[in-house]
Chain A
Amino acid sequence: AQSVTQPDIHITVSEGASLELRCNYSYGATPYLFWYVQSPGQGLQLLLKYFSGDTLVQGIKGFEAEFKRSQSSFNLRKPSVHWSDAAEYFCAVANMFSGGYNKLIFGAGTRLAVHP
């Protein structure tokens, strides 16, 4: 069965520190991969996506993610975290070549807290 695992439920970092949020997926086919961010009580905002090509993708707000097929991972990184980055982050995967409707599978999320 298709699944997305975000191993860290909560992460706390200091402002200015680097950040890496982990995402592992279980999928037989070539995946589409996404990272979304959600502030409390708000909808989800797309940070970045990977479909093909360069395995290091850049997103909004200074975030980047790297697709590693051998590790079935798509980890999100930011070199220097700002207090405004405190939010919940969701990794998601969809099948690239299934045809028809491609279901988006979400991880359970990682809640990021930022200390001043």
Chain B
Amino acid sequence: DGGITQSPKYLFRKEGQNVTLSCEQNLNHDAMYWYRQDPGQGLRLIYYSQIVNDFQKGDIAEGYSVSREKKESFPLTVTSAQKNPTAFYLCASRPAGSGETQYFGPGTRLLVL
């Protein structure tokens, strides 16, 4: 089945630790995105990538890093510089010519120990 997978479903981070969230898609979509969701704030864009080996900062990129070495994969690293990482993280992808129609994965909830 085609789709977007995110792992793990829950992730716990210790203070000072970097953690990486996985996002994989087998939809052959060109663009991929990472969003952060906090209660009552909707979705905020962290990073996006329109093609392999290229990515751009979104609205809240500080404390996060990404890579796009393969079309199918867009992992997000939450670094120790992100002081308030507790949130629900959503990955999305978009096919070419879709008029910005994005399709979302199931999400990863990150909690701080």
Contacts and interface: CB of A to CB of B under 8 A. Distances in A.
A45 interface: yes
Interface string B40-82: 1111010010100000100000000000000000000000000
Interface of B: 4, 6, 40-43, 45, 48, 50, 56, 88, 90, 92, 99-107, 109
Where chain A touches its partner, the secondary structure class is loop
A90 B45 contact: no
B48 to A, nearest CB: 7
B42 A34 contact: no
Interface in A6-57: 9, 32, 34, 36, 41-46, 49, 51
Nearest to B105: A43
Contact of B106 (A34, A42, A107, A109): A42
A42 B43 CA distance: 13
A107 B42 contact: yes
B97 to A, nearest CB: 11
Nearest to A109: B42
Nearest to A4: B42
Given A9-B40, A101-B50, A109-B42, A41 B107 contact: yes
A43 B99 CA distance: 20
A58 B101 CA distance: 16
Interface string A53-83: 0000000000000000000000000000000
Contacts of A102: 99-100
